Amino acid sequence: MAPLGALLPELVAPPPGPTSRRWVERLSRVECPAITARRDRRRQEAGGEDPIVWREARGANVVDVDGNRFVDLTAAFGVASVGHAHPKVVEAIRNQSERLIHGMGDLYPTQEKVLLGEALAAWTPGDLQQSLFGLNGSDAVEAAIKTALIATGRRRVLALDGSYHGMSLGALSVSGYRSAFRAPFSSWTRQELRLPFPHCADCPLGHHPDTCGSACVAYVERVLSDDAGGGEDVAAILVEPLQARGGLRTPPAGWLASMRQLCYRHGVLLIVDEIYTGLGRTGAPFVCAEEGVVPDLLVVGKSLGGGVPISACVGRPEVMEAWGASRGEAIHTSTFLGHPLGAAAALATLAVVEQEGLVERSRTLGAWWARELREAFADLPNVREVRGRGLMLGVALQRPDGALWRGGGVAAMQGLLQRGFLVAPAGIEGEVISLSPPLVVTEAQLRAATDALLQWLSERAAGVGA
């Protein structure tokens, strides 16, 4: 029998089982209702239930407190790219915990922080060499924003429609995903112009891909050239090379390179957010490198720590030098800066990705699975398209009249849970099923997932409940 991690689903009780329910009820008494009350949204939108409560996870398998075994097609928000609890990552954490758990950030550095900085300089393209560390994606994004402002002396950072860069106040101000996230904090988050994201299957400017003449790039050119509209005060443009939470929307080839050249012409920094897409997720070490683009600042996180919180903003020396030398106290730091436990886990994770060939595996396995999904769903009226790159795929859903199936991804989350698979919704309207399994997922697990998705989608197309 295959080890836990490579197994197919096995349900011993309809999820969520009674033990999960009891744990969630306990949680609801001690957790902020903004988190736990998401149960109500699931009920309203998809006839959903309480969430399951995880007990353990290995590879691509998750086991809940009721003993149900699932195949994780989310990699836990993209974090577990090398698989849950990879033995080499676990060993690195164990060894580090026995030697040094915590250092003193910028005051007294640790060996692990130095080694991780060197490793990231080797992994990232071009002359991206110097890092500012954080604990999550928002930390890295805010470090990039602050770097851009201090390097240019300008005040505006533009981002794209549908983008998601985190939930801290600074990250929210540059995110285009769900205005409801920003509305309660509008006095603290600037309402900047959102640039159109070039998803050609649904062009935001109403053009046809064959005749548009890169209208989306021309639009940005006009914005930056408009001094009266504040174009001269733009410090940076922040982009996702492939939108994750925004719906797995994928720009055409050459768009990122065009944005790079446009930023050069206007003296604007290019920040590329590869928190989700980096380190093999799309079948490349980084999408920007595959596109031949070296940004001024690159932000990484999620899978970097193999499950341990750590992130980084990696920049070109000439940009990072704008911070200047420390005058006794750093003006950007944190208690857990370059945390040795996270750094050790990250070093082990990078080694696993390289040693196990997970970048190439993501490319080939993802291309195969995308073909399988497209062939399986070809005749389904409720599937608009399968999109994405590598093992970062999305199934865009639609209604019989061709309109977006608002909440379809949320409904799929609950429907697939009952079949032993964990998926997540994506898209502004929750109309996409997001599929980003661990890069160690097996072909057998993906075949079973295709069958489960096909069954659920076929039932919904025929009007059968999930």
pLDDT at 37: 55
Whether 344 is in a domain gets the answer yes
For residue 332, how many other CB atoms are within 10 A of its CB?
A: 15
Whether 396 is in a domain gets the answer no
Q: Which amino acid is at 414?
A: Q
CA-CA distance, 148 to 323, in Å (whole number)?
Answer: 10
Judge contact between 89 and 98, C-beta under 8 A. no
Task: Write the CATH number for 150.
Answer: 3.40.640.10
Whether 136 is in a domain gets the answer yes
Judge contact between 424 and 77, C-beta under 8 A. yes
Phi, psi (rounded to 5 degrees) for 30: -125, -10
Q: Output the pTM of the full model.
A: 0.94
What DSSP string runs through 275-299?
TTTTTTTTSSS-HHHHTT---SEEE
Mean pLDDT of 227-241: 88
Partner residues linked to 194 by β-bridges: 159
pLDDT at 44: 46
In which domain, by residue range, is 188 found? 87-355
CA-CA distance, 39 to 334, in Å (whole number)?
Answer: 34
Judge contact between 159 and 336, C-beta under 8 A. no
Whether 56 is in a domain gets the answer no
What DSSP string runs through 138-188?
HHHHHHHHHHHHHHH---EEEEETT----SSHHHHHT--S-HHHHGGGTTT
Whether 115 is in a domain gets the answer yes
pLDDT at 42: 47
Whether 375 is in a domain gets the answer no
Percent of the chain with pLDDT over 90: 73
pLDDT at 176: 80
CA-CA distance, 259 to 16, in Å (whole number)?
Answer: 46
Mean pLDDT of 306-311: 97
How many domains is the chain built from? Answer: 1
Provide CB contacts within 8 A for 219, sequence distance 6+: 195, 196, 205
Percent of the chain with pLDDT over 70: 95
pLDDT at 466: 45
Is 70 exceeded by the pLDDT of residue 46? Answer: no
Element at 363 (helix H, strand E): helix 358-376
Query: How, if at all, do strands 156-160 and 194-195 pair?
Result: parallel
Phi, psi (rounded to 5 degrees) for 69: -110, 130
Whether 414 is in a domain gets the answer no
Mean pLDDT of 80-96: 98
Is 50 exceeded by the pLDDT of residue 41? Answer: no
Partner residues linked to 104 by β-bridges: 108
CA-CA distance, 303 to 280, in Å (whole number)?
Answer: 9
Model confidence over 380-435: pLDDT tens digits? 999 999 999 999 999 999 998 889 999 999 999 999 999 999 999 999 999 999 99
Mean pLDDT of the chain: 91
Q: Which amino acid is at 46?
A: A
Report DSSP state, residue 100: -
Is 60 exceeded by the pLDDT of residue 370? Answer: yes
Range of lowest pLDDT (230-234, 358-362, 448-452): 230-234
**Closest-CA residue to 286 (of 240, 320, 318):** 240
Q: What end-to-end distance do the CA atoms of the chain give, in Å?
A: 31
Q: Which amino acid is at 88?
A: K
Cβ neighbourhood burial of 44 (10 Å; 0-12, 13-18, 19+): exposed
Partner residues linked to 84 by β-bridges: 59
CA-CA distance, 300 to 279, in Å (whole number)?
Answer: 9
pLDDT at 356: 98
Q: Which amino acid is at 200?
A: C
Judge contact between 323 and 298, C-beta under 8 A. no
Edge-to-edge, what's the strand order for the sheet holding 424-426?
383-389, 392-397, 432-435, 424-426
Whether 48 is in a domain gets the answer no
pLDDT at 191: 67
With b meaning 16 or more CB within 10 Å and e meaning fewer, what string describes 169-189?
A: ebbbbbbbbeeeebeeeeeeb
Model confidence over 157-188: pLDDT tens digits? 999 998 989 888 888 888 888 777 888 888 78
The label of the residue with tokens 């996409």 reads 432
Cβ neighbourhood burial of 439 (10 Å; 0-12, 13-18, 19+): buried
